[in-house]
């Protein structure tokens, strides 16, 4: 085996726990020093301006250099960085040298368009190599990317571009999904229409599908700009705390939060966790994380962690069932994938299709399996382990969030004895607690709230443009501790079980959605007077969106039957937010259950949505409301 990756030291994992426990700061400094620093840091953490941390503050580095040039200079330029598999079956591979060359050109393109350090660039692309190239090019010149998932609507795109004041948008004509070309550019045109986002000066357009595109004065073809750009580009060093990206995620209010991450600490933890949680062997592994770069998993475990670690990875454009239901397993067989990182919702849908599909493929290359995004039920865990992992590959159930930037709680292969359904233990260097209402740590077997008790390198540095919301959302509930928004419990062995969100955030197929955001989308329709949205348990998607709406009296006739209302409003939500937010079910009701102070009691609506006996109604202003909702349901008036 080649020893050319010696500069990426492999740690002995059982030592990591004791080292981190003995000297947490020294431990993180050691992890950071696995990166290339143009200027070494002398300070590890400054927490004096809590809750805004600075890590490795006086150090300087270039994130893209760490993910690219460094490997080429160490003699690993020929190693494949990306195997891209397009949905229609086209494929392309980039070596580290080739990817570096592409990113250098793209960095020159950005500079030629006037993008400077600190400027925001919105990226709205399908899962194609250009998405990764664009992210790294933005990072290379010290600008800030804001990747917006391609499934979000024009409205959502506009809100995000506007909030970040993006100067440039990078998009494509479209991408391939479920066997057909699906356009992206029209959503950008809509978002920028009538000068709705005046900060945007240009739009770079990647040609992917070759479909018709409407051309505006701001548009430039990516390929033409790349062809005209200089091939050489020197990576300059930026301070460790230089902002790297903003990623929008749902919170408890209608407005998405722009989570801000910076460079040195983020890359340190993304690379460290990727190496240790997946037991990485950079020289021989073929790694595949199925997440889209539009989510945090695609940032930390497609773009940054794996490339910082110089591994070969696969990226796939499409859906698991196109053109056939064995597509993922075919990809694993083709590239001899050894590490697979995916979400429980995908595993559950494969389980439903049956093992005969994966059994047709050679999955013997798989060595480690990862899970992320939502609790993995023990049944799905066992199926994943047996059918995909051949009972050989350990499963790492990784808990983390957009805000934490990188994995926080997970077993370590070969060290932790895994337990189906539990994310288990904080990784070395992280201090996680389960606390009660008063913020005091609970005994094992008691349910409470998950908190992170000490700052960590890849922690969010704020909410873009909203320091007050940052303080209130994460730090006010349990002073001195980060409140994650999740319920949790430690079992008798001290292993952590995540119990799901304790706020009005839902987790649908591993995607975070806000009740308030969907409610605002519903009430923006002229028929709707009031709406309440809850997440109900769902066998396939973990949770599903269930909405209760009250129609405006003067619109009842126009709206028609409940089935019509449901169909129209589901489409309306897809248009306002994106298809992922479409309610599974919409119930038309005459009243919503409210307390005397006017707060909607979603707990009771969840009982209805989950078909459970309705809980305590004594705090309702009108205790008959729930019986009228139940009576309507029983009468089968809703679809």
Question: Which residues make up the interface to ligand PRX (CB under 6 A)?
Answer: 249, 296-297, 372-375, 397-402, 423, 484-486, 498, 501, 507, 512
Q: How far apart are alpha carbons 589 and 186 in whole angstroms?
A: 36
Sign of the CA dihedral running 353, 354, 357, 362: positive
Measured from the Cβ of residue 551, the count of other Cβ atoms closer than 10 Å reads 21
**Closest CB to ligand PRX among 282 and 509?**
509
Q: How far apart are alpha carbons 114 and 202 in whole angstroms?
A: 10
State the Cα angle at 208 between 203 and 211, rounded to 5°. Answer: 90
* Shortest spacing between CB 177 and ligand PRX, in angstroms: 21
**Closest CB to ligand PRX among 28 and 341?**
341
**Closest CB to ligand PRX among 184 and 498?**
498
Sign of the CA dihedral running 610, 614, 616, 620: positive
**Closest CB to ligand PRX among 141 and 533?**
533
Asked if 536 and 609 count as a contact pair (C-beta separation under 8 A), the reply is yes
* Shortest spacing between CB 474 and ligand PRX, in angstroms: 12
Q: How far apart are alpha carbons 181 and 170 in whole angstroms?
A: 18
Q: How far apart are alpha carbons 336 and 366 in whole angstroms?
A: 8
User: Which backbone phi and psi does 611 adopt, to 5 degrees?
Assistant: 60, 45
Q: How far apart are alpha carbons 372 and 349 in whole angstroms?
A: 15
**Closest CB to ligand PRX among 82 and 488?**
488
**Closest CB to ligand PRX among 69 and 374?**
374
**Closest CB to ligand PRX among 312 and 401?**
401
**Closest CB to ligand PRX among 273 and 401?**
401
* Shortest spacing between CB 147 and ligand PRX, in angstroms: 13
Q: How far apart are alpha carbons 513 and 254 in whole angstroms?
A: 10
* Shortest spacing between CB 101 and ligand PRX, in angstroms: 31
Residue 53 neighbours by CB under 8 Å, 6+ apart: 45, 46, 47, 265, 455, 459, 461
* Shortest spacing between CB 345 and ligand PRX, in angstroms: 11
DSSP lists the bridge partners of residue 486 as 501
* Shortest spacing between CB 250 and ligand PRX, in angstroms: 8
Q: How far apart are alpha carbons 398 and 514 in whole angstroms?
A: 22
Q: How far apart are alpha carbons 117 and 385 in whole angstroms?
A: 45
**Closest CB to ligand PRX among 239 and 542?**
542
* Shortest spacing between CB 286 and ligand PRX, in angstroms: 22
**Closest CB to ligand PRX among 482 and 548?**
482
Q: How far apart are alpha carbons 100 and 104 in whole angstroms?
A: 6
The residue behind tokens 């540095």 is 461
The residue behind tokens 């539990």 is 422
Half-sphere exposure of residue 189, counting CA atoms within 13 Å on the CB side?
Answer: 14
* Shortest spacing between CB 249 and ligand PRX, in angstroms: 5
**Closest CB to ligand PRX among 108 and 514?**
514
Sign of the CA dihedral running 271, 243, 50, 451: negative
**Closest CB to ligand PRX among 115 and 277?**
277
122, 134, 87, 121: which is closest to 315 by C-alpha? Answer: 87
**Closest CB to ligand PRX among 326 and 370?**
370
User: Which backbone phi and psi does 261 adopt, to 5 degrees?
Assistant: -120, 150
* Shortest spacing between CB 268 and ligand PRX, in angstroms: 18
* Shortest spacing between CB 488 and ligand PRX, in angstroms: 9
State the Cα angle at 629 between 626 and 634, rounded to 5°. Answer: 120
Q: Pairing relation of β-strands 542-551 and 528-538?
A: antiparallel
* Shortest spacing between CB 409 and ligand PRX, in angstroms: 7
Query: What does the block give as tokens for 242?
Result: 């230089």
**Closest CB to ligand PRX among 206 and 432?**
432
* Shortest spacing between CB 2 and ligand PRX, in angstroms: 32
* Shortest spacing between CB 554 and ligand PRX, in angstroms: 39
* Shortest spacing between CB 166 and ligand PRX, in angstroms: 21
Closest residue to ligand PRX in the complex (CB): 402
**Closest CB to ligand PRX among 425 and 629?**
425
Q: In what order do the strands lie in the sheet with 462-463?
A: 219-221, 202-206, 168-172, 120-124, 144-147, 243-249, 257-262, 462-463
DSSP lists the bridge partners of residue 496 as 424, 490
Strands, E, within 464-563: which ranges? 482-490, 496-501, 505-508, 511-514, 528-538, 542-551
Residue 91 neighbours by CB under 8 Å, 6+ apart: 83, 84, 85
* Shortest spacing between CB 458 and ligand PRX, in angstroms: 12
């Amino acid at each position: 085996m080649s020893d050319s990756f010696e500069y990426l030291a492999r740690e002995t994992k059982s030592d990591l726990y004791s080292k981190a426990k003995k000297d947490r700061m020294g431990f993180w400094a050691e992890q950071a020093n696995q990166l290339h620093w143009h200027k070494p840091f002398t300070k590890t953490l400054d927490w004096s301006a809590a809750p805004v941390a600075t890590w490795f503050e006086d150090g300087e580095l270039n994130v893209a250099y760490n993910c690219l040039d460094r490997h080429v200079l160490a003699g690993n330029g020929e190693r494949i960085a990306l195997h891209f598999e397009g949905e229609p079956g086209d494929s392309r591979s980039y070596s580290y040298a080739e990817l570096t060359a592409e990113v250098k050109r793209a960095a020159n393109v950005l500079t030629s368009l006037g993008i400077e350090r600190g400027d925001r660039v919105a990226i709205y692309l399908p899962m194609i190599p250009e998405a990764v190239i664009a992210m790294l090019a933005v990072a290379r010149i010290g600008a800030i990317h804001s990747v917006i998932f391609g499934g979000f609507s024009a409205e959502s795109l506009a809100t995000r571009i506007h909030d970040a004041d993006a100067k440039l948008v990078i998009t494509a004509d479209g991408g391939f999904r479920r066997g057909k070309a699906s356009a992206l550019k029209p959503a950008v045109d809509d978002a920028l229409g009538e000068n709705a986002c005046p900060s945007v000066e240009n739009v770079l357009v990647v040609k992917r599908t070759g479909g018709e595109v409407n051309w505006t004065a701001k548009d430039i073809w990516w390929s033409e700009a790349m062809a005209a750009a200089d091939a050489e580009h020197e990576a300059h060093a930026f301070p460790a705390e230089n902002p790297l990206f903003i990623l929008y995620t749902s919170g408890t209010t209608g407005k998405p939060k722009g989570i801000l991450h910076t460079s040195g600490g983020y890359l340190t933890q993304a690379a460290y966790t990727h190496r240790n949680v997946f037991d990485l062997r950079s020289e021989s592994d073929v790694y595949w994380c199925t997440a889209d770069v539009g989510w945090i998993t695609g940032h930390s475990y497609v773009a940054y962690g794996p490339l910082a670690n110089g591994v070969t990875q696969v990226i796939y454009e499409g859906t698991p069932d196109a053109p056939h239901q064995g597509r993922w397993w075919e990809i694993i067989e083709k590239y001899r994938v050894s590490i697979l990182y995916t979400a429980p919702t995908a595993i559950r849908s494969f389980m439903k299709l049956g093992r005969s599909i994966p059994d047709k493929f050679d999955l013997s290359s798989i060595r480690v399996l990862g899970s992320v995004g939502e609790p993995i039920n023990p049944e799905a865990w066992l199926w994943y382990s047996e059918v995909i992992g051949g009972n050989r590959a350990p499963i790492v159930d990784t808990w983390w969030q957009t805000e934490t930037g990188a994995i926080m709680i997970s077993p370590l292969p070969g060290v932790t004895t895994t337990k189906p359904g539990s994310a288990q233990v904080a990784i070395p260097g992280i201090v996680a607690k389960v606390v009660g209402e008063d913020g005091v740590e609970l005994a094992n077997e008691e349910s409470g709230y998950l908190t992170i008790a000490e700052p960590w390198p890849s922690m969010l540095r704020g909410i873009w443009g909203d320091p007050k919301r940052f303080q209130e959302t994460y730090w006010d509930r349990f002073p001195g501790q980060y409140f994650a928004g999740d319920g949790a419990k430690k079992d008798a062995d001290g292993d952590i079980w995540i119990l799901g969100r304790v706020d009005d955030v839902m987790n649908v197929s591993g995607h975070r959605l806000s009740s308030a955001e969907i409610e605002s989308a519903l009430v923006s329709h002229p028929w709707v007077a009031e709406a309440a949205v809850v997440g109900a348990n769902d066998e396939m998607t973990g949770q599903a969106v269930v909405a209760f709406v009250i129609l405006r009296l003067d619109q009842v006739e126009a709206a028609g039957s409940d089935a019509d209302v449901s169909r129209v409003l589901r489409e309306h939500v897809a248009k306002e937010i994106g298809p992922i937010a479409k309610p599974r079910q919409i119930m038309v009701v005459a009243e919503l259950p409210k307390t005397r102070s006017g707060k909607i009691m979603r707990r009771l609506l969840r009982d209805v949505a989950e078909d459970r006996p309705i809980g305590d109604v004594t705090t309702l202003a009108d205790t008959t409301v729930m019986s009228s909702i139940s009576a309507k349901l029983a009468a089968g008036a809703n679809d």
